[in-house]
Amino acid sequence: MENKIVVKGVNNSFKKNQVLKGVNLTVKSGSIYALLGANGSGKSTLLKIITGLHAMDSGEVFINDLEITHNPRRIRQTFSLNSQTTTTDEILTGFENLQLIAKLRHLPNTDEVADKLLAQFDLTEARDRRVATYSGGMQRRLDIAMSLVGEPEILFLDEPTTGLDPKSRNDLWAAILDLKQRGKTIFLTTQYLEEADQLADQIGFLQNGHIVATGTPAEMKQLGGHSRLQLIFPTTDAIESAQKILLDFNMSVGTDGSLLIDLTDGVTTSLKALTLLSNHDIPISSFQVLAPTLDDTFMQLIKEA
């Protein structure tokens, strides 16, 4: 797969505050890249630099192998930026909003373009309603539909689901995955670990001005630690006895009183622990293996900073 976006050594400061310190990243064509980072880590600044809205102090950004500062016009036609502020006109209907953008872009068949996008984002039923009557999720879908007028190859989404309820968030995730199926390359920023987990092919974790970790969601979860065996006991006596017997294991007590055993060597550790408890007749209510999550990685990376 060819590289669609390449960021090399990007630096940026606001007066004495150096926000980006040599950021490097690569986005493959037809993939979804999620830029994760805490509040104020510089996600929006980097997005603005890549899309040419903000000048960088030094570094290079290539889109389709063209350096952005030397080819701004040509590159601008290949992507669309969906920022957190809405671009829709609430007085107009969904159809009229899309039709207007299609006309501004001098597209032929503006009605057809508008109807196709309404269908793609599950808004056909609300076609002739004023946008003021749309729910937050519908407005966000229409916003993204507006970005797609003219079929850009690349879509930049700045925190696309912030403020949406779980159902609307799921609907939007489905729409974003559908765009990937249609061959679009998507670069999004998010603070939601679950969003990155659900959508991204690659995650970049921005911290202290650098991409400190990058990989697939599965690879990123591994950085957070090992799987853990969670043991739940019926009585406090059983917990105390188990703690004495399992002293040689890397163990911690969960907030709910369960015992958590770090599975350094996977299944073998689980079997050893369960066999020991069984041999000592310690009753267990239930047990399960907890896989590492992106939250573990996030906390681990923040701890290491």
Ligand X SMILES: Nc1ncnc2c1ncn2[C@@H]1O[C@H](COP(=O)(O)OP(=O)(O)OP(=O)(O)O)[C@@H](O)[C@H]1O
Residues that bind ligand X (CB under 6 A): 14, 17, 19, 37, 39-45, 191
| Closest C-alpha among 194, 192, 156, 193 to residue 176 | 156
Provide Rg for the chain, Cα atoms. Answer: 24
Nearer to ligand X, 25 or 259 (CB): 25
Provide φ and ψ at 75, rounded to 5°: -70, -35
Minimum gap (Å) between residue 38 Cβ and ligand X: 7
Comparing CB distances to ligand X, the nearer of 44 and 147 is 44
Residue among 113 and 220 whose Cβ is closer to ligand X: 220
What is the DSSP annotation of 207-265? Answer: ETTEEEEEE-HHHHHHHT---EEEEE-SSHHHHHHHHHHTTTS-EEE-TTS-EEEE-TT
Q: Is 22 left (phi over 0), alpha (psi -120 to 50) or beta?
A: left
Contact (CB, 8 A) for 109 and 152: no
Write down the least CB distance from residue 288 to ligand X, Å: 33
Shortest distance (Å) from residue 32 CB to ligand X? 18
Beta carbons within 10 angstroms of residue 256's beta carbon: 7
What is the smallest separation between the CB atom of 167 and ligand X, expressed in angstroms? 24
Q: Which is nearer to ligand X, 41 or 161 (CB)?
A: 41
Closest separation between CB of residue 7 and ligand X, Å?
Answer: 14
Residue 123 to residues 119, 164, 175, 234: CA-CA distances in angstroms?
Answer: 6, 17, 12, 51
Pick between residue 84 and residue 124 the one whose CB is nearest to ligand X.
84
